[in-house]
Amino acid sequence: MQSFSRRGFKILSLWFTYCNKEVYDKENLFNSLNYDVAAKKRKKDMLNSKTKTQYFHQEKWIYVHKGSTKERHGYCTLGEAFNRLDFSTAILDSRRFNYVVRLLELIAKSQLTSLSGIAQKNFMNILEKVVLKVLEDQQNIRLIRELLQTLYTSLCTLVQRVGKSVLVGNINMWVYRMETILHWQQQLNNIQITRPAFKGLTFTDLPLCLQLNIMQRLSDGRDLVSLGQVAPDLHVLSEDRLLWKKLCQYHFSERQIRKRLILSDKGQLDWKKMYFKLVRCYPRKEQYGDTLQLCRHCHILSWKGTDHPCTANNPESCSVSLSPQDFINLFKF
């Protein structure tokens, strides 16, 4: 009986040793798997943030349904519209470029968290194409600088609240995107615009009336100031009171102008100072060569000239142009 007990005790000891070793091995295996999963997730996050794949759809239009139903909910969000309306091609069209940039700016200011993960990735991919286009063409530099600064400021605020699930994706991915934005800003700051080797007729060779006529077509006062810095003669033209008066009257109502009157030392209205003061107080009038359009008959949103399944007898008469802010407002319900 004593030998049996010793033998049983030995067997039990061996059994407990084996069980402890198995548990230890399982814990090591579990920890190793967790580490591998975390490493793969970090690698996947970085890969996803660098992916240039654009999500294309066969139809270049979207049905906007004001009510949120189970059948149509996926087709009436801002993110879905952003994925479907082919903004990548639109930025290559000079008539649509400013429209898309303004839309990106509005999304960056307040709507970034309403986009799905795929839509956020598309947003960054489209933004990269915009930056690359500007770097190549050396045009609209100031416009894109302001867009990048707006986006970076918004992300600084949102990343601090990432634990509250205001952004989709891993924090590493968003930090990488912010670093990319800083890199783009540096590239834009390093642009050196060279004067083309052109020996023909220049802008200053035109008659003064034609120069003024061209300057009157500029809708941004900052462009007038920049043009006036090119040459002394252009500086004189850019200070023309009638030029700034027309610019104020184009962007602002008479009531808004009356509230911001500024007199010069000579007792005359200083339209230039009034313009920049009005800009700080009121939004400027927006103008675009081409816009998104909403069909009031079938509630389909598309770019002008895009075919969509409309049942109206005269589809063109049912279409209404949308400003970038109107586009954003469509999805606030």
**Short-list 37, 11, 288, CA closest to 19:** 11
Sequence-distant (6+) residues with CB within 8 A of 220 are 284
DSSP 256-278: HHHTT--B-TTSSB-HHHHHHHH
Pick out the chain residues at pLDDT < 50.
1-4, 12, 18, 23-24, 26, 29-35, 37-57, 71-74
With b for 16 or more beta-carbon neighbours within 10 A and e for fewer, the 71-110 pattern comes to: eeeeebbbbbbbbbbbbbebbeeeebbbbbbbbbbbbbee
Task: Tell me which amino acid residue 217 is.
Answer: R
Strand-by-strand arrangement of the 319-322 sheet: 61-63, 300-303, 292-295, 319-322
* Distance between CA atoms of residues 207 and 227, nearest Å: 16
Q: What is the pLDDT of residue 66?
A: 58
With contact defined as beta carbons under 8 Å apart, do 157 and 141 qualify? no
Q: How far is CA 305 from CA 22, 204, 318, in A?
A: 69, 39, 13
> Considering the entire predicted model, what is its pTM?
0.72
Bridge partner residues of 302 (DSSP)? 61, 293
Amino acid at 68: S
Q: What's residue 85's pLDDT?
A: 84
Burial of 288 (0-12, 13-18, 19+ CB in 10 A): middle
Residue type for 215, please? M
Rg (CA), the chain: 30
67 is written with which tokens?
């009510």
What's the full length of the chain, in residues?
Answer: 333
Count Cβ atoms below 10 Å from residue 250 Cβ, excluding itself. Answer: 13
Which tokens hold the place of 328?
A: 């954003």
